Amino acid sequence: MSRASRCFAVLAVVALVAACGPSSTETPVQQDAGGLDRLAQHDGAQDGPAQEDGPLDGPLQNDANQQDAGPATLYPDIRALQQDPGYTGTLAPLNSRVRIEGAVVTAFGSSVYVFFIQNATGPKEYSGILVKKNATVPTDLVVGDTISAIEATLVEESRSCDWDAGACPTRHSLTNVTLCTKGSAGTVPAPLGVTGTEVLANTARYDGVLLQLTDSTLTVASGGTTATTTPLANGMAVYGQYYSPPGVVPAGTVVTTCIGVLDLYNRLWEVYPRSNVDLIFQDWPGDGGIQSDALPPDDATSSGDAAPCGTDTVVISQVYGGGGNTGPPAATFNADFIELFTRGTASVDVGTWTIQYTSATGSSWGNQKVALTGKTIPAGGYLLVRMNNTGSTGGGLPTPDVSGTNYNMSASAGKVALVRSSTTLSGACPTSTDIADLVGYGTTANCFEGSKAPAGSNTTAVTRDSAGCQDFNDNGYDFSAVAPAPRNSATAPASCGC
């Protein structure tokens, strides 16, 4: 659809500005080296009155900036603002003053006049929202910062519609910010893996959330491609206001990685990539297929490009150490487990491999070692390894493919290695070339890929995103703490789009 055909309604926007400074009571959060915790800085000199998030966007309908600011009601979860139907708390009324505490900045958009925040923990659906900047927002705010508190007006907006074309899509956002207190450095939640079909079937669920598109084949659509907007064959688009490819991407080009915050622009639901790590094309002669030339200079990340899908690409896809624990809260399952997954295109014989576990700061791996004797994992297949005897608390696991006996793991922090031999690892952070994959989880883990994976618990497992497909060689970026969902060899294979 041509942008020239868009019709904009004009409303006056008046921003009520109040002073805001860093909190003096914030406890600093240790930031691990590597990962994508603080992607890129923006030019604070561009700050000004709240503006739209695209050079062609017009003023919005239902813009509560016209209203006087009043007292704000504290909501403990952004899901209350996004009207999550599964949220058990009180939902925030539209056009009301709201307060959110402890959210994390996930991205900036459109010449940094808007930014996105998301819950630091918990379910990712309905957990993000766009914020319109004004002079109240600290000028040194960057991706990965914690927002100690923000007070603003919650609005529902119609986005650049052709008014004769039927119902207009809408999104929620925060405008008329009157309080914004920057906290210390936090951790950006790992992106939620979804397909374009899933997004378009329920856009409200993913509005403002950091996503990774996991379509089995993702290509650039024909027609309409510009230097900043790249339409995708799945009905979505990539909007390059913050990071765009260096040139027009040819139709049919395969998109191997597409990560970014979801936003609504010109009637299209678009992903806002933040750097070359978020947006990678396959065999595009425009830049050799890797968007390295436009990486922001302040972006310090060790995750790099996603590991390729080859033939020997078995990874640890899930770790659960809360099995059988009485709590509170009580364990979801009655045994600890480790799940493996093959990302590649061929079966992998792991019959001589072992899984080895040690504590978060431990160096003794031999006491908790499970052999995978006689096992082969097909392409896209899972292997479920029960690590200890079953307890009396929690439900039973699906039938394990391999069973240990008394290898109890920590629910909250530990280290797990997948080793291509029976040789016992040594040292707190082993460097053996036999290591196929390693996961360090929890705040005290002293060995990990890139950065630490989040802590688990009796009711959460440390789970690799995108059904096990995501592998940026960065535990903190690749894993999320979610409800455990063990998969075994009887589970239907998952395709990673290789």
Sheet strands side by side (includes 435-441): 369-371, 354-358, 414-419, 435-441
Same domain, 89 and 225: no
In the chain, the amino acid numbered 36 is: L
Same domain, 125 and 270: no
- Is residue 35's pLDDT more than 80? no
Same domain, 171 and 85: yes
**So what's the pLDDT on residue 5?**
33
**So what's the pLDDT on residue 64?**
35
**So what's the pLDDT on residue 23?**
35
Is there a contact between 159 and 170 (Cβ–Cβ < 8 Å)?
yes
Same domain, 218 and 126: no
- pLDDT tens digits, residue range 125-182? 999 999 988 888 888 888 888 999 999 999 887 644 443 444 567 889 898 899 999 9
Q: Buried b / exposed e across 389-414, counting CB within 10 Å, b at 16+?
A: bbbebbeebbebbbbbeebbbbbbbb
In degrees rounded to 5, what are phi and psi of residue 3?
-65, -25
**So what's the pLDDT on residue 162?**
44
Same domain, 213 and 273: yes
- Please state, in angstroms and rounded to a whole number, the distance separating the CA atoms of residues 70 and 482: 37
Same domain, 252 and 385: no
The pair of structure tokens assigned to 324 is 């059988």
**So what's the pLDDT on residue 93?**
94
- pLDDT tens digits, residue range 70-85? 789 999 999 999 999 9
Task: Over range 40-57, report the average pLDDT.
Answer: 32
- pLDDT tens digits, residue range 265-321? 766 788 888 776 777 777 554 433 333 222 232 232 333 345 556 555 899 999 999
- 74 secondary structure, DSSP code: E
Report the number of distinct structural domains present in the chain. 3
**HSE, side-chain direction, 13 A CA sphere, residue 37:** 21
Kindly report the three-state secondary structure assignment for every residue of 103-119.
EEEEEEECCCCEEEEEC
- pLDDT tens digits, residue range 325-366? 998 999 999 999 999 999 888 899 999 999 999 999 999 998
What contacts 63, CB < 8 A, 6 or more positions away? 11, 13, 155, 157, 175
Same domain, 118 and 34: yes
**225 within domain boundaries:** yes
- pLDDT tens digits, residue range 188-219? 888 998 898 898 889 889 999 999 888 888 88
**304 within domain boundaries:** no
Same domain, 327 and 469: yes
